[in-house]
Amino acid sequence: QVQLVESGGGLVQPGESLRLSCAASRSIVSISYMGWYRQAPGKQRELVASITSGGNTNYADSVKSRFTISRDNAKNTVFLQMNSLKPEDTAVYYCSAIHYRDGWYVSTDWGQGTQVTVSS
């Protein structure tokens, strides 16, 4: 189990940028996947981006070329750089840690979420 705390959300205008941070309570070096999800009002939670322990990344098509996920293992932190923000990016963004052990899914830990609002 790992505790996750997101920060960096806020209100921005379309076209602007935000960087979200996810601070973990312990080392994230061995965590199989770190991910960013988002949930807009009335919608299902969706995967935005993920990064594996080996550094492989994956993005939702809607954010491809605009968002970048990265990790700083020395700081136990995962980032989501969001550029060229659009109103449809408005959502609560959640950090997650997905644990596997010997090929078996074990569990997922979630942060409390941070609000991102893109509006003019």
Mean pLDDT of the chain: 96
| Cα dist from 93 to 22, 100, 101, 106, 115, whole Å | 10, 23, 26, 23, 6
Q: 74-99, pLDDT tens digit by residue?
A: 999 999 999 999 999 999 999 999 99
3-state secondary structure of 67: strand
Q: Which of 2, 16, 8, 7 is nearest to 119 (CA)?
A: 16
Phi/psi for 16 (5° steps) reads: -85, 180
Confidence of residue 113 (pLDDT cuts 50, 70, 90): very high
Confidence of residue 101 (pLDDT cuts 50, 70, 90): very high
